[in-house]
Amino acid sequence: MPDIAVVDYGMGNLRSVAKALAHVAPGGTIEVTADAEVIRRSPRVVLPGQSAMPDCMRCLNESGLRDVVLEALRDRPFLGICLGLQMLFDDSEEGPTQCLGALPGGVVRFREAAMFDAEGGRLKVPHMGWSPVRQRRAHPLWHGIADETRFYFAHSYYPVPALPELTVATADYPTAFTCAIASANIFAVQFHPEKSHLAGLQLLSNFVTWDGRA
């Protein structure tokens, strides 16, 4: 069995996630897999996602991997990235789409009418590029990462957790939105650690050695 299973439900760019994990865990085995049994027996699971939510959820459901993802969410170090974070909540405005419902809350779109910065400049959607990530509470996955370090974002939707304690980081666009959540063995980020250069690799490195406790 691999040390880390990257769930392949047929969407997006999984190669980058796997290569970045391999870069920070040179001795470990990382497998991009659509095999439910491999995922079931892997001690760590990563759920990436980088596309449109309706297709993403449809592919996950049709892949037959939905149950094993839900199982992994209950009991081992689990990392969700981008749509892999959004899918954890109840539903998304994109579509709209019913999501996994593992965490209470929804996913909403940036409101175009409110997209102005402090100087009145227009903010674009998608939110695309490097924004500072403000750490809202301590977590082992922030180890070695300074507060307000910039990470790479590329998204038009963001999560609104029903429980404020799920939020472990926010970013401003233009007002603060949740960009990282944690609950027991689950950690998930709206930004792309695999594309966030040294800070992103540090976060992935922290995940690789995380015991799954907050």
Partner 1 sequence: MLAMGLAKRIIPCLDVAKGRVVKGIKFVNLRDAGDPVEVAQRYDQQGADELAFLDIQASVESRALLYDMVEAVADQVFIPLTVGGGVTHVDDIRALLTAGADKVSINTAGVNNPALIGEAARRYGAQCIVGAIDAKQAEPGRWQVYTHGGRTATGLDAVEWARRLVALGVGEILLTSMDRDGARSGFDLGLTRAIVDAVDVPVIASGGVGALRDLVDGILEGGADAVLAASIFHYGEFTIAEAKAAMAAAGIEIRPTP
Q: Interface residues with partner 1 (CB under 8 A)?
A: 12-13, 15-16, 19-20, 23, 50-52, 55, 112, 115, 117, 122-132, 148, 150, 152, 154-156, 172-174, 192, 194-198, 200-201
Cβ at position 162, least distance to partner 1 in Å = 25
What value, to the nearest 5°, has the Cα angle with vertex 93 and ends 89 and 97? Answer: 65
Residue whose CB is less far from partner 1, 72 or 89: 89
* Cis amide leading into 96 (omega within 30): yes
Q: Please identify which of the residues 165, 179, 194, 197 carries the catalytic annotation.
A: 194
Residue whose CB is less far from partner 1, 22 or 38: 22
Residue whose CB is less far from partner 1, 3 or 152: 152
In the residue annotation, 82 being an active-site residue is answered as yes
In the residue annotation, 197 being an active-site residue is answered as no
Backbone angles phi, psi at 4, to 5 degrees: -135, 130
Q: Please identify which of the residues 56, 82, 99, 179 carries the catalytic annotation.
A: 82
Cβ at position 56, least distance to partner 1 in Å = 9
176-183/167-172 β-pairing: antiparallel
Residue whose CB is less far from partner 1, 111 or 213: 111
Cβ at position 9, least distance to partner 1 in Å = 14
- At a CB cut-off of 8 Å and minimum separation 6, what does 33 contact? 2, 5, 6, 7, 8, 39
* Cis amide leading into 174 (omega within 30): yes
Asked if residues 11 and 50 have their Cβ atoms less than 8 Å apart, the reply is: yes
In the residue annotation, 139 being an active-site residue is answered as no
Q: What are the tokens at 17? A: 């996630």
Which residues does the annotation mark as catalytic? 82, 192, 194
